[in-house]
Amino acid sequence: PQSEGGAPETGETLITEGRATIVFPSANEVFYNPVQGFNRDLTCAVLTEFARLQLRPKGIRVVLPGEEELGGSPPSPPEGGDPLTAPETPRTARPGEACEGGLRVLEALAASGLRSVRFAREVPGLGAIVASDCSPRAAALMARNVARNGVGELVTPRLADARMLMYQSKAEREPFDVIDLDPYGSPAPFLDAAVQAVSEGGLLCVTCTDMAVMAGNSAETCYSKYGAVSLKGKFCHEMALRIILHSLDLRANCYQRFVVPLLSVSADFYVRVFVRVFTGQAKVKASASKQALVFHCVGCGSHHLQRLGRATSHGSGFKYGAATGPPVGPTCEFCQQRHQVGGPVWAEPLHDPAFVERVLVALERSPGRFSTEPRLRGMLSVIAEELSDVPLYYTLDGLSSTIRSNTPSLLQLRSALLHAGFRVSLSHACRNAVKTDAPPAVLWDIMRCWAKLHPVKRERLPDSSPAARILSVEPTLQASFALHEDANPSSRKRGLKRFPENPEAFWGPKARAKAGGGLSPSLQDKRERLQNKRTQRPDGAGLKQFPCKRFKEGTCPRGEQCCYSHEPP
């Protein structure tokens, strides 16, 4: 039950999300973004299933509202756990109740405390939650929201630097079972402390919102933050996931630890990963063979991966060494253009299929638990269909624009690959992605066959263009675009909401919170004022509010006829 205390004051509003209602300042003193509601819903769902895995060996049964009538939690045993060793009468953990022996959770950058309050009210099996922030205003607001929602028994607000708090927990040997990092921008400054402060087999949840850096706009900045060079390719959103996984594993390796991804998601304007952290010197030796460099052709967009290490079977174990390469020549074999080199990136699977299936089953058993449930089910269904052993992807528009042809439908290209004997899947990171184990040579043969059925105007193609060079070669594979029975994926057949449209305009990142408060200017007003000035006002109307740069330099020839302002600043 919610407490009556903590009523909103002047300049504050009430925000309800899930089962939590929080007080939030109208001024931009503490950060809050409603777009991240999907992120918080997904985290609650993942954390619930992780609690099942961790607490079942302790004899604690995690139960959600409505599950008792259905026979309790899903019966499948956890990894490494034996249900036969559990007591005959297990204890029951329910949402909103402190669980003795339950998970210790840290929300390291809590802001208003909304996520921690939702954990306390919606996720069963938690023993204690620490909600920390370095802003005094945020810490005071957290305390009010915790009291207002009646979760003081579970949630402890802290005014502390996130890194110092995690290093302290490591020094005092009181690790957290779950650490949630959702900063404004890059989580890079917190990763070193996080991989040390999480318990053995614990869960690390990390959000990155600096997608411009991770998607190739600032490759040098990406290297300084994550130890990997990003590339601006069609596959940039999946590459961003693999960059953060590489960075987490690299930092964990320094302490003889390694990561095992449970779920990795690219959504809206951010990426979110859920990984478990384990300790083991022998397993750490295999980390080099899990990373790879990416060779990306600047002409046709073909990509190849080069592993950094090699692991070979040696008796009952493995022998590790340097990999051999590179997988490409000085120029691309298809278009004779140069390659860009990116990475290293994580080259192993992004998800644990069994865990993803558990989360999906739990959503079906508790309908209506989350407001974003249709999108959760759709995205997780696409993730469950993804080819786990195929890093990166191509796109329909990328392939067709390279050879200057019209675009085949998704079913036609998938059918051609399936008829040729290769596997193919969608990707949750891009709605028109094609993930396949077919080599680039096969893909371009299929596109050559497509160009024969839908002719390209060759006379308009420069001889040195990628399109001309690719189409000048006759295909060795005769592709069939007839509909294959497995071409339409299950998630598409069922009409799941896989790639929903934004519910409103400017659905994206918000302005950073200001330490002293003050209203933040509306992003929509700012964009209308500063962006696309000429395209929105072809007659130049309204431009007098902007100063003339040439007038400042004393070189404007238009004088009073100039559409910009000549007024002194």
Burial of residue 37 (number of CB atoms within 10 Å: 0-12, 13-18, 19+) = middle
How many domains, the chain? Answer: 2
Strands (E), 98-248: 103-107, 126-133, 155-159, 176-181, 198-208
**Type and span of the H or E element at 318:** strand 317-322
Tell whether 445 is covered by a domain: yes
Q: 461, 494, 527 — which closes off a domain? A: 494
Parent domain of 403: 387-494
- Hey, what long-range contacts does 470-477 have (CB within 8 A, 24 or more apart)? 470/300, 470/334, 470/335, 470/402, 470/403, 470/444, 471/403, 473/448, 474/448, 475/445, 475/446, 475/448, 475/449, 476/445, 477/420, 477/442, 477/445, 477/446, 477/449
Q: Are 276 and 201 in contact (CB under 8 A)?
A: yes
The predicted structure's pLDDT at residue 57: 92
Q: 460, 494, 528 — which closes off a domain? A: 494
Tell whether 460 is covered by a domain: yes
The predicted structure's pLDDT at residue 566: 86
Q: Are 19 and 121 in contact (CB under 8 A)?
A: yes
The predicted structure's pLDDT at residue 65: 82
10-residue block means of pLDDT along the chain (569 residues)? 54 84 71 81 96 93 76 49 52 90 94 93 96 92 93 95 96 96 93 97 96 94 97 96 98 97 94 97 94 96 96 86 92 96 96 96 92 94 96 96 94 96 96 95 96 90 93 93 94 87 70 55 61 55 78 82 81
Tell whether 516 is covered by a domain: no
The predicted structure's pLDDT at residue 545: 77
428 and 486 co-located in one domain:
yes
Residue 96 φ/ψ region, left for φ over 0, alpha for ψ in the -120 to 50 degree band, beta for the rest: left
410 and 483 co-located in one domain:
yes
The predicted structure's pLDDT at residue 332: 96
The predicted structure's pLDDT at residue 61: 92
Tell whether 454 is covered by a domain: yes
488 and 417 co-located in one domain:
yes
Cα angle, residue 210 at apex, residues 28 and 254 outer, rounded to 5°: 120
419 and 481 co-located in one domain:
yes
Sheet (strand 257-267) strand order:
155-159, 126-133, 103-107, 176-181, 198-208, 270-279, 257-267
Distance (Å, whole) CA 310 – CA 319:
8
Tell whether 513 is covered by a domain: no
CATH number of domain containing 433 = 3.30.56.70
475 and 551 co-located in one domain:
no
Distance (Å, whole) CA 505 – CA 138:
28
Can you state the angle between helices 37-55 and 114-122, rounded to 10 degrees? 40
Q: 494, 511, 528 — which closes off a domain? A: 494
Distance (Å, whole) CA 161 – CA 76:
40
Return all residues near 356 (Cβ < 8 A) that are at least 6 apart.
Answer: 263, 380, 383, 384
The predicted structure's pLDDT at residue 547: 85
Q: Indicate the pTM of the whole model.
A: 0.86
393 and 490 co-located in one domain:
yes
Tell whether 472 is covered by a domain: yes
Tell whether 546 is covered by a domain: yes
| Residue 229: DSSP 8-state | B
Tell whether 345 is covered by a domain: no
473 and 391 co-located in one domain:
yes
What token pair was written down for 233? 């390719």
Distance (Å, whole) CA 411 – CA 406:
15
Burial 470-492 (b: 16+ CB within 10 A, else e): bbeeebebebebeebeebebebb
